[in-house]
Every structure is written in C-alpha cells, then in structure tokens.
Structure 1
Amino acid sequence: MTDIAITLADIDFLQEQLNFSEISPVDFENLVFHLLDEMGFSNLTWRKGGEGNSATDGGRDLEATFWTVLPAVSKEEKYWFEVKYRKGQLEKSQVQGTVLNAAGNNSKDNVVIVANKTISNPTLDWIKEFQNTHKTPSVSVWQGHDLELLLRKNPRTLARFLPSSLAFSGRCKVIESKFSNLMLLPAGGELDELWNKREEYYENSYLTLIAMLAEVAYGDVVARQWGLDIDEARLFAVAATGMLNVYPFILKCSALNREQAILINGLSYIIQCLLLRIGEELTAKVLFNPEEFAEPGMELPDKLRFNRYEPIFNTIFHDLSVRCSEIFCSKVSHIHKQKKSSYFNRFLQVPVKEDEDETLILNSLHGDCRIGIVAKDEYCPLGNLNETPEALSGLVERLKFARGVIISRSGELSENA
C-alpha cells in the first residue's frame, strides 16, 4: 500500500454550482487556507493574528510563498491573500482599499482577492486600470466561480469543507485516500452510507475492507453483518486484500502513531467469517500465503509470513477461548491476576503492583467439553494460545477446530433464540 492522491472525474461531482453559503465565514477562511496548502503554497501565515479575528470584515489576510519553476529560471514569489466573505457582491471600496494598501508594501509580488461571491465589472475595470499604471504588485481576483474550479482540482479541501458537493463515488475516493494516507476509518454517516450502498462498489474489495474494519472498530457487526451479508467471492477478495496489506498497514500506523489493534481485530473478524463460510482449507491459504491469489512473482520468506498472520491467528483463538469458556466449561478457564489480588490491595499502604493484562489460562485434561468437540482425556486447543502453527497443515488443523467452535456456539444461540 502506498500513499494515494485523489483523482476525481466529472462523475464524482454533483453538477450543481457550489453553495458557499453552506459554510460560515470562519470556515470559508479555513477553506482558503487549506486550499492554498493543497495547491502547493508554503510558509502560510495569518497576518491578523488568531482564528476568528476581523470577523466583522468576514476575512483576514494570508501571506504565503510559491516556487515557480520555468525552463529558464526558477523563483520564489511572495503572495498576499485577502479573504472576503459576503452575502452579496463584494464592494468596490473594499477592493480598492485592499489593492492600495498592498501597493504600499513593496515586499509583496502578488496580491490575490478571494471572494465567495462575484465582483462587479466596474470594479474589475478599476483593477485593470490600476495594473496598467503599476507594475507591482500583480493583482488577481478569485471570484466564487474561480474558486469552484480550483476546488474541483483540489478535492481534499473540497471534500473536507463542502462534502455535499461530491457524488457517492467521489466520497468513496476520499474515504480511501484518508485511510491510505492517514489511517483514518469512516464512522457515523459515512459508515451508514457504505453499508446502505454496499452493492454499488461490489468490485472494490479495498473499500469494502475499509468499511468492514470500521464496522468492527466503531459500528455494530451484529446489526450489520458484513461477513455474512456479502457473497463468498467478495468476502474472499476482501480477506486476501487485507492480508496482503498487513505490513503496509502496520508500518503506516507506526509512522502516524495510530492504534494497530483496530486492524488486527478487524482482520480477525473477516478471517472468522471466511472460515465459517468457505472452510479451513482456503482460509488457511489466505492467512498463510495470500500472495498465491495476487499477481505472480510475489513471495515472502516463511518467517515474514508467520509474523504476519500470528497476531491475527492469536486474536481469533484468544477471543474464542474467552467467549467459549464464559459459559461454564471444565476444560478451559481464565483467571486475571489483578482481579484476583486487587481486593486486598486496599488494605496495604503500599499496594502491590500487578500487570493489568496478565492472565492465567487453566487447561484441563479432565471434564467434559460443553459443545462436545474435545474428548474427555484431551486438552482443548483453545487453551494453547502460545502454540501458533508455523506450517500450513497445522493452520488447517487448528482452523478446523475453530470453525467447529463457531458453528457449535452460534448454533446454541440459534436454538435458544
């Protein structure tokens, strides 16, 4: 996985004119700031202090620099932006005041007036006359329609401040970009829309993967059962896509200081759904060597393969072990050390420190397996959480058992419903 830039086609936009009245004057100022950053301007600074200053004017000054690279010469030019938010047409006196003020500052190469509305023809004529008699600074005007064209060429800013201007296909591209570049998952209304319109992006396994990871992290996989709803071919493609990208995802999370557990928990859910629906043989292959289902020539050493699927496999077996043994089980039980000793800590002036996550797992040869898939004189595989198989055959065997647990326990729930 690499960082991706959004490339939006006409079909990704709603064709109506952008409605800048949807955003406040302060948000409009921030929109201009982020637009300049996306366009490549640097050294962006506010000239009038903190955010919200000069609110009565509906605008504040921005300074920035921009490198122009030409075949014969390269140079850095200085810009002064005056942001003007109006409910109606921008007044001529405001434009004249801005231009004349800038003309007295010789340190600026360019002055740009940015308005959400239009500027009258007499005002534009006055600017032309001024420019005929003044070589510097160069004066430009971005009216509402000019700003619209710039925003459509710089869709990240557009999606952030005016998301209603994007069609569903455009919003999907923004979701993919935010995840790939920032490891940000959709939530709330975005996740609702991805579920409701899931058939509209059937072939996009990467976007489906993002939606399923988000549902596990922020949503409700009981109410919206992605792993059971989408067909087997799509689920298989999503699982393979997820496993192929484990290392890139983890590296990106580390670079951005994001929580990796969200990825591991989401992938473990996807793999369990795949296991339930298509069996242990193909599921083991997806875990062990997803490159088999990708472009030819891709290969990973065995050690890297193991390190890739180990945390996902362990999460599956840990979760199954805890949940399966919650209903009384004489085979496997879990004792959290801190919970066992913390009561008497209240009587110590210097409490004994315990490792919060340390857990004792008791696995017995005796007793009966409640769901009848472990013999009385055998250990339950769910109690062997530190024995991740390194060979494909071992994966198949352990996953076969896990599938039996899922089917038996979910079957019990179905009978009791």
Structure 2
Amino acid sequence: MEFGQLSPDQFENMTFDLLHAAGLKNLVWRTPGADGGRDIEGTFTSIDFSKYYQHDRWYIECKRYSNSIDWPTVWNKIAYADSRGADFLLLVTNSNPSPSCESEISVWNSGKRSPTVRIWRGYELEGILRNYPQVAAKYGMLGKSTEAELSLQSLMFEAMKLAQTSYVSHEIGASNVAALEANAALAELISARYSQIRTYGRIVAPLSNALAPNYEWLTWNGPADGWDEVGIRALLSMARYLTGSQGVEATSDKERVMLLLNNARFEIAGAGEKAFGDVANLADVEVKEISKDSVTLSRRR
C-alpha cells in the first residue's frame, strides 16, 4: 500500500472512512486543526463487567509525514486535544514516531495523564486497512485485484436481499415498489464501482450536472448539480425503503442535502444503518445526521 499516492485530503477522508468502519460514532470534522489541517472527533462507548457504560471522546489527528514524528510535534497535538476535552488522542500517520518520541509517549501514558495517546503507525495502518477492504479499495490501496472486487461483497448481499424481498412481495400479491427501486439503484451503484475498480484500481465518484433523480415520490428543492447521480439515487431509494416513507423531500445547497422522510414508519438503525453507511461510502458522501424523520448528507471535500 502506497500512502504517498494519496493527497492530504484523500488521506484525511480515508482516515474518516476507516474510523467509521471501525466503530467510532458521532464522527465530525474539526477545522482547522492544530497544524491547519482537518481533524476528526468521535465517541466510543464501552461497557465494563459491572454493566457501566463509558463514553470516551476521541480526538484524531491524521497526517502524512515524509519523516519520523518527533516529540514536540506530538506534544503540540496533545495540548490541542486536551484543550478540547478529549479523553484519547489518536495519531493516524503513514510514518512512525522517532525512538525518543516513542519513549516520551510511553512515559506520558504510564503517568495516566489525559489524553491517553494512541498511534496508528504506517505499518499498522496497512494491516488495519486490510480488515476493511471496502475502504482500502475505495482509495486504490488494493489496486486492480480480486480482493478489491470482493470489497463490494457486503453490498452485493444487500442487493440480493432486496431482490428476494421484491420477489416474495410479488408472489403474495403485495407490490413492494420501494424495495424494487432500492434494489435497482443499489445494483447500478455496485456495477459502476465494480467497473471503476477493474479499470482504475480505485473508486471514482464523478460529479455531474444532472437533474434531480426522477422519482415520483421525490420532491427536490435547490440545485442538483455537484452530486454523483448514481450514488445519490442509491441513497435516496435506500432511505425511503429502510424507513418505509411515503415520500422524500430533499433540500440541497450543493454541499449538503437534507432529506425529510414523510410518514416514516421505521428508523434507520442496526443492520439498516450499516447498509446505508456502506452505500454512502461508495457514493463518497458523509452521513451527517440520522433521525426517524430526516437524514442529512454532505459532499466530501
């Protein structure tokens, strides 16, 4: 894996996707960071043997370095994270701390001072990415490989489940148009990304000047250009299917789009939330907020 082939923005976006896949919740960008870049904040909930839930606030610094990282650099990031009340500071880098820096980090953590410092070093980051092949494939870390193609497998299974749902509904005489439309849009997205992986070795989400998706249950307010039309169709149809909404009203300002889910019967939660997040990842869109009645999506930088 050649992290040097990624731009600073791509490295930051890859880190964001990786943190989401690894289970960090409530992820948000914090701009600007200590060094002018974009930092990430999230929460991780754990439970101990007494059944006590602990919510830890994580502050993440992600940056490509050409040389090893020294202690003054880490110290500045510790001070910055501490000033924002972080419990943990995670440094995600393609490089490694210098030997003296490693010693200082060990001394800092052994003193049980806050925030606790964690590091995803370059050699560790490669191994972590291989546990989340969909993220690795998206950024070209797996190239034109069978492993990259198989990274789409989870969404292929989701499309298969939608196809089965549509068929069963048809067999019992109960039309399920929402499942059918979601299946068609998801299959289109998977097909497009599969073709891109085979051709370019990575996922490309081209911006378009297309009109708003032509669904009879969709009302679109604001500009529709600047969104990947294949990805936004999949997200819209999946949101409607997962919530059982009668219709969706979208309000866009190019950078964000808010979906109001009319008469939603269900929340996007559990397995549905994971599937929706996987679709958003392939569409290169961030899910900023989810409630029973609305979803807010944001374009990637």
Question: In the aligned structure 2, how far is the partner of 1:28 from the partner of 1:191?
Answer: 20
List per-residue Cα deviations over 1:200-257 (Å, max 9, x = no partner).
xxxxxxxxxxxxxxxxxxxxxxxxxxxxxxxxxxxxxxxxxxxxxxxxxxx9995357
Q: How does 1:347-386 map to 2 (within 5 A)?
A: none
Q: Is the 8 A contact 1:112 1:142 kept in 2?
A: yes
Do the aligned residues in 2 keep the contact of 1:58 with 1:86 (CA within 8 Å)?
Answer: no
Question: Structure 2 residue aligned with 1:84, among 60, 63, 67?
Answer: 63
SS in 2 for 1:185: helix
What is the correspondence of 1:22-37 to structure 2 with a 5 Å cutoff?
Answer: 22-37=5-20
179-188 vs 24-33, greater mean Cα deviation: 179-188
> How far apart in 2 are the matches of 1:103 and 1:254?
42
Residues in 1 aligned to 2:107 and 2:197: alpha-carbon distance in whole angstroms: 54
Report the CA distance between 1:136 and its aligned residue.
2.0
Deviation at 1:75, TM superposition (A): 1.6
State the partner residue of 1:150: 128
How far has the Cα of 1:176 moved from its partner? 3.5
Structure-2 residue corresponding to 1:132: 110
Cα deviation, 1:332-359, whole Å, max 9, x if unaligned, reads xxxxxxxxxxxxxxxxxxxxxxxxxxxx
Contact 2:148 2:197 survives alignment (8 Å): no
Partner residue of 2:149 out of 147, 172, 175: 172
Contact preservation (8 Å) 1:90, 1:115: no
Unaligned runs of 5+ in 1: 1-17, 195-250, 259-417
User: 2:117 aligned with 1:117, yes or no?
Assistant: no
Name 1:190's counterpart in structure 2: 195
What RMSD in Å do the two structures reach over aligned CA positions? 3.2
Task: State which of 49, 55, 63 in structure 1 corresponds to 2:41.
Answer: 63
Aligned-pair identity in percent equals 26
Q: TM-score by structure 2 length?
A: 0.51
Secondary structure of 1:63 counterpart: strand
Higher strand share: 2
Report how far residue 140 of structure 1 moved: 0.9
Aligned to 2:277: none
2:77 aligns with 98
TM-score, structure 1 normalization: 0.38
**Preserved contact between residue 26 and residue 58 of structure 1 (Cα < 8 Å):** no
CA contact (8 A) 2:40 2:59 kept: yes
- Classify 1:103/1:193 alpha carbon distance in 2 versus 1 (closer, same or farther; 3 Å): closer
Pick the structure with greater CA Rg. 1
Count, aligned residues:
178
Change (3 A) 1:256 1:142: same
